[in-house]
Amino acid sequence: MKKYSEMTKEELTAELEDLKSKYADAKGKGLKLNMARGLPSAEQLDMEADFFNTLNPTVDFHSELGIDCRNYGELTGIHEARQLMADMMEVSPEEIIVFGNSSLNIMFDTVARSMDFGVLGSTPWNRLDKVKFLCPVPGYDRHFAITELFGIEMINIPMNSEGPDMDLVEKYVGSDPAVKGIWCVPKYSNPSGVTYSDEVVRRFANLKPAAEDFRIYWDNAYTIHHLYNGREDQLLEILAECKKAGNPNLVWKFCSTSKVTFPGSGIAALAASEENLEYVKKILTIQTIGHDKLNQLRHVRYFKNIDGMHEHMKKHAEIIRPKFELVLNILDRDLSPLGIGEWTHPNGGYFVSFDAPEGTAKRIVGLCKEAGVTLTGAGATYPYKKDPHDSNIRIAPTFPPIGELEQALNIFTLCVKLAGAEKLLGQI
Amino acid sequence: MKKYSEMTKEELTAELEDLKSKYADAKGKGLKLNMARGLPSAEQLDMEADFFNTLNPTVDFHSELGIDCRNYGELTGIHEARQLMADMMEVSPEEIIVFGNSSLNIMFDTVARSMDFGVLGSTPWNRLDKVKFLCPVPGYDRHFAITELFGIEMINIPMNSEGPDMDLVEKYVGSDPAVKGIWCVPKYSNPSGVTYSDEVVRRFANLKPAAEDFRIYWDNAYTIHHLYNGREDQLLEILAECKKAGNPNLVWKFCSTSKVTFPGSGIAALAASEENLEYVKKILTIQTIGHDKLNQLRHVRYFKNIDGMHEHMKKHAEIIRPKFELVLNILDRDLSPLGIGEWTHPNGGYFVSFDAPEGTAKRIVGLCKEAGVTLTGAGATYPYKKDPHDSNIRIAPTFPPIGELEQALNIFTLCVKLAGAEKLLGQI
């Protein structure tokens, strides 16, 4: 098979006709497959059955420190849950507040708190003319949705294989006091799979922000979500690096067990310097009496400790890995010979990031949708849903059963080829 | 025994000496009793053991409509949980969003949302020079803490036996566009135990606010929390009344199962008109992917339906009622003959509201504390913690075992007498 770019117009036109005919067949099958979001599969969730044995009528509901977890109180979480999340987030328990079921909600509230009350005594952002966030791209659509909702101006920062373009980050953060934050998924990044290099983390920790209330929004969602034994990415722990650099207050770290136990029924946590947390607690104590301590207790009793959690994540990897390998195999089989598209080979996380030929992503997602395969919207990985190259597509292989995933990927590569041929022929 | 007010100075001085000696004895016992907050007792919580059998490894985790409750999604809650909370809150499921574990958190977020984004298209409150809330007093300290945090000016509205002084409410709401809300605990009010009369509810529903974004913050925390069989207070359902009055958007209703199942591990809900909820959902969908559906499922499977919940609350009443009766008996035994203090005789809820002689509440709470009995702080039931009469004290009988409660009340009445005598003698 020739690469598309090496085909004559006639060859490519014939190829396109063939693809259109195959696409019509595919559409005729009336499939309904969803790869839009990074959901765990039913098979992963079934694995957690024992979780529901951890709390039963015969157990003692008191925490290690004697707190009755069934009653009010413990704003920052029970001791052993703080310890578990501290180990997961590689900080000390004093640097942890355990929240409810959603790290996204913590992030939203962290931005909202800054809007309404400022950060550690700074001017509330809602009194400022302009607030800006840096957004490494491609990135996580739900991050961008938060800052967009609050009217915060978002600035694209290109990602490379080591993390965000740090020259650009340092330039913006160091010179513009309106720049108050940067969204980061530093490990197995959503969607690119990149893990930030030590050098990048150190440059983050050593930022000299023009704004006293600038913070790094470090969403370490996939910290223990490896795909391969012995091929785990390593991420330097940023809070320790910030402390070393004399900037202990520079970072908010977010994490949850949504993709460890149950999406929606996990526990989420915020990690930060004790001074940052004191400020959060002053407001949090007005917002709620406390989060769900019984669910904290369930988690602690289920995993025992961080080792238990790591062992558990290996079982998730066993289920997820074949799906990633299938995706990569089909992409390689169908597209590599034709020289269209580029994609990532992540060692963990929930996504494969696919870069289609410039100007074809929307067309591909639309074609897939018509053929019954729902993907994350084209553009979703960019602020304001505007991919300047109309190229990036996030592939989420985890949710569908492997048979459906194969069907979906076959349709996906067919649509990529179709749009690629159309593009080269000047039809789109 | 003579009333204190009828005693001569000599008689009262002798009485005070006697009280001081008894107080010294009481202090010597080194007690440590806590009646500060309305916590359920361990006995109540033990009763819920079966709750933990509702979800076990063998059950089906799908909702009635086929949603896998272990995975992401269902922003407004699973259908059957919306139905259960709708029945509890006497509205339709379409008028319900089920949230996380805390109705306080919903209230905080509802105020925060109005500050940041306005209400149904109105100007965000943080852009206004002045925002005011009406606060029926005595009231719930955590309500007042929210509005204080956001810099909202709070205006005291006296409570009477039918509810808030509605002449005053109508005057403020109808004339001042800066008045954006009123905090209400309409049934078994915290702390007074009052249930608003039908007339009061109808006047609320028929308010003609000067501000388009004025809302009634209707915290129906004790809606099914009766103390006596056959002596249940009846509260007119306000959303239906608002609709009748042509003001469907006038009210936010809040409720939770914190004192039905577990404080911190219950489910909370917001009820409002569908138009109000559409506005909430637009922002909520950015804030979180969804709340804890497994906990929703636990609740639905535990109670089956609202009848199950009502039956369950009768068991709570069996445990709580003797504590309330003990409190009322001791107050009556020790204080009625002396003519000092007035207190409520609620049919439900979690509190007895005690009005000490003017200018003695702080002294009483301080004396109790020194003798090892922690009460809710004097003034806590007023905005800014300022009780203009220094009189109201909230008694929370539910948490201590009955033996400890008796000890605590004996010390309480001793301190009331002591402060009462001091006051009459001009010593405080």
SS (H, E, C) chain A: CCCHHHCCHHHHHHHHHHHHHHHHHHHHCCCCEEECCCCCCHHHHHCCHHHHHCCCCCCCCECCCCCECCCCCCCCCCHHHHHHHHHHHCCCHHHEEECCCCHHHHHHHHHHHHHHHCCCCCCCHHHCCCCEEEEEECCCHHHHHHHHHCCCEEEEEEEECCEECHHHHHHHHHHCCCEEEEEECCCCCCCCCCCCCHHHHHHHHCCCCCCCCCEEEEECCCCCCECCCCCCCCCCCHHHHHHHCCCHHHEEEEEECCCCCCCCCCCEEEECCHHHHHHHHHHHHHHCCCCCHHHHHHHHHHHCCHHHHHHHHHHHHHHHHHHHHHHHHHHHHHHHHHCCCEECCCCECCCEEEECCCCCHHHHHHHHHHCCEEECCCCCCCHHHCCCCCCEEEECCCCCCHHHHHHHHHHHHHHHHHHHHHHHCCCC
- Look at residue A50 and tell me whether its pLDDT is greater than 90: no
Cβ contact, residue pair B145, A115, below 8 Å: no
Q: At what angle do helices A198-205 and A166-175 cross, to 10 degrees?
A: 0
Give the separation between CA A390 and CA A354, rounded to whole angstroms: 11
Of A119, A273, A283, give the one whose Cα is nearest residue A205: A273
Query: Helix (H, G, I), strand (E, B), or coil: what is residue B374?
Result: strand
The pTM of the full predicted model, rounded to 2 decimals, is 0.97
Cβ contact, residue pair B105, A150, below 8 Å: no
**Most A CBs within 10 Å: which of B140, B294, B384, as the mutation test of the A interface?**
B294
Instruction: List B residues 149-168 in contact with A (Cβ-Cβ < 8 A).
Output: 149-150
- Look at residue B428 and tell me whether its pLDDT is greater than 90: no
Q: Which residues of A touch B264 (CB under 8 A)?
A: 69-73, 289-294
Determine phi and psi for B212, rounding to 5 degrees: -65, -25
Determine phi and psi for A16, rounding to 5 degrees: -60, -40
The H or E element spanning position B148 is helix B141-149
Cβ contact, residue pair A294, B262, below 8 Å: yes
Confidence band, pLDDT 50/70/90 cuts, at residue A57 = confident
Q: Which residues of A touch B69 (CB under 8 A)?
A: 264-265
Of B177, B194, B176, B175, give the one whose Cα is nearest residue B185: B194
> How do residues B57-97 score in pLDDT, each as one tens digit?
888 999 999 999 999 999 999 999 999 999 999 999 999 99
Residue type, A69: C
Confidence band, pLDDT 50/70/90 cuts, at residue A48 = confident
Q: For B286, which of A49, A149, A293 is closest by C-beta distance?
A: A149
Give the separation between CA B371 and CA B365, rounded to whole angstroms: 10
Residue type, A222: Y
Cβ contact, residue pair B42, A68, below 8 Å: yes
Low-confidence winner among A28-42, A384-398, B123-137, B319-333 (lowest mean pLDDT) = A28-42
Please tell me the predicted confidence (pLDDT) of residue B48: 82
State the nearest Cα–Cα gap between B27 and chain A, in angstroms.
Answer: 27
Please tell me the predicted confidence (pLDDT) of residue A397: 95
CB B319 within 8 A of CB B225: no
- Look at residue A146 and tell me whether its pLDDT is greater than 80: yes
Of A268, A275, A229, give the one whose Cα is nearest residue A248: A275
Q: Where are the alpha helices (DSSP H) in B288-393?
A: 293-303, 306-335, 361-370
Q: What percent of chain B has a predicted confidence (pLDDT) above 70?
A: 100
**Most A CBs within 10 Å: which of B71, B108, B142, B219, as the mutation test of the A interface?**
B71
- Look at residue A53 and tell me whether its pLDDT is greater than 90: no
Residue type, B100: G
CATH topology of domain A61-304: Aspartate Aminotransferase; domain 2 (3.40.640)
User: B53: nearest CA in chain A?
Assistant: A56
Of A252, A289, A266, give the one whose Cα is nearest residue A120: A252
Average pLDDT, stretch A387-398?
97
Give the separation between CA A269 and CA A321, rounded to whole angstroms: 27
Average pLDDT, stretch B197-218?
98
Average pLDDT, stretch B239-256?
98
Give the separation between CA B353 and CA B192, rounded to whole angstroms: 5
Confidence band, pLDDT 50/70/90 cuts, at residue A337 = very high
Structural tokens at position B86 = 């709708």
Give the separation between CA A245 and CA A228, rounded to whole angstroms: 33
Q: At what angle do helices B402-424 and B306-335 cross, to 10 degrees?
A: 40
Confidence band, pLDDT 50/70/90 cuts, at residue A206 = very high
Q: Name residue, tokens 């934050």.
A: A181
Give the separation between CA A46 and CA A67, rounded to whole angstroms: 31
Q: For B100, which of A42, A101, A108 is closest by C-beta distance?
A: A101
> How do residues A157-183 score in pLDDT, each as one tens digit?
999 999 999 999 999 999 999 999 999
Please tell me the predicted confidence (pLDDT) of residue B362: 98
Please tell me the predicted confidence (pLDDT) of residue A273: 98
| Integer Rg of chain A from CA | 23
> How do residues B19-64 score in pLDDT, each as one tens digit?
999 999 999 999 999 998 999 999 999 988 889 889 988 889 999 9
Please tell me the predicted confidence (pLDDT) of residue B123: 98
Please tell me the predicted confidence (pLDDT) of residue A56: 87
Strand partners, B268: B256
Please tell me the predicted confidence (pLDDT) of residue B58: 85
> How do residues B404-425 score in pLDDT, each as one tens digit?
999 999 999 999 999 999 999 9
Q: For B57, which of A50, A68, A100 is closest by C-beta distance?
A: A50
Please tell me the predicted confidence (pLDDT) of residue B335: 98
Query: Residues A422-426: contacts with CB within 8 Å, 24+ apart?
Result: A422/A16, A422/A360, A422/A363, A423/A357, A423/A358, A423/A359, A423/A360, A423/A363, A424/A4, A424/A5, A424/A7, A424/A12, A424/A357, A425/A9, A425/A12, A425/A13, A425/A16
Average pLDDT, stretch A191-210?
98
C-alpha torsion sign, points B235, B237, B242, B243: negative
Cβ contact, residue pair B45, A68, below 8 Å: yes
Reported residue count of chain A is 428
Pick the CATH number of A4-44+310-424 from 2.60.120.10, 3.30.420.40, 3.90.1150.10, 3.40.47.10: 3.90.1150.10
Please tell me the predicted confidence (pLDDT) of residue A1: 74
Give the separation between CA B322 and CA B318, rounded to whole angstroms: 7
CB atoms within 10 A of CB A416: 27
B65 touches chain A (CB under 8 A): no
CB B173 within 8 A of CB B209: yes
A52 touches chain B (CB under 8 A): yes
A290 Ramachandran zone, left/alpha/beta (phi>0; psi -120 to 50): left
Give the separation between CA A133 and CA A144, rounded to whole angstroms: 9
Give the separation between CA B409 and CA A178, rounded to whole angstroms: 57
Confidence band, pLDDT 50/70/90 cuts, at residue A318 = very high
A1 touches chain B (CB under 8 A): no
Cβ contact, residue pair A70, B265, below 8 Å: yes
Q: For B263, which of A71, A287, A295 is closest by C-beta distance?
A: A71
Q: For A150, which of B37, B116, B289 is closest by C-beta distance?
A: B116
Cβ contact, residue pair A53, B56, below 8 Å: yes
B129 touches chain A (CB under 8 A): no
Q: For B52, which of A55, A289, A292 is closest by C-beta distance?
A: A55
Please tell me the predicted confidence (pLDDT) of residue B130: 98
Q: What letter would DSSP give residue B6?
A: G
Determine phi and psi for A340, rounding to 5 degrees: -120, 135
User: B59: nearest CA in chain A?
Assistant: A49
Q: Which residues of A touch B289 (CB under 8 A)?
A: 102, 104, 142, 263-264
- Look at residue B338 and tell me whether its pLDDT is greater than 90: yes
Q: What percent of chain A has a predicted confidence (pLDDT) above 90?
A: 96
Query: Helix (H, G, I), strand (E, B), or coil: what is residue B355?
Result: strand
State the nearest Cα–Cα gap between B319 and chain A, in angstroms.
Answer: 16
Task: Please provide the average confidence, as pLDDT, over all residues in chain A.
Answer: 97
Give the separation between CA B133 and CA B150, rounded to whole angstroms: 11
A34 touches chain B (CB under 8 A): no
Structural tokens at position A139 = 């990135």
Q: For B115, which of A37, A53, A116 is closest by C-beta distance?
A: A116
Cβ contact, residue pair A42, B100, below 8 Å: no
Average pLDDT, stretch A235-259?
98
CB B187 within 8 A of CB B163: no
Beta carbon pairs, A and B, within 8 Å: 161
Average pLDDT, stretch A77-93?
98
Cβ contact, residue pair A146, B286, below 8 Å: yes
Average pLDDT, stretch B317-339?
97
Structural tokens at position A369 = 């949708």
Domain range list for chain A: 4-44+310-424, 61-304
Strand partners, B98: B269
**Most B CBs within 10 Å: which of A55, A103, A116, as the mutation test of the B interface?**
A116
State the nearest Cα–Cα gap between A174 and chain B, in angstroms.
Answer: 28
Q: What angle do CA B261, B267, B272 make, to 5 degrees?
A: 130
A297 touches chain B (CB under 8 A): no
Cβ contact, residue pair A100, B101, below 8 Å: yes
Give the separation between CA B155 and CA A203, rounded to whole angstroms: 51
A121 touches chain B (CB under 8 A): no
A72 touches chain B (CB under 8 A): yes
Please tell me the predicted confidence (pLDDT) of residue B357: 97
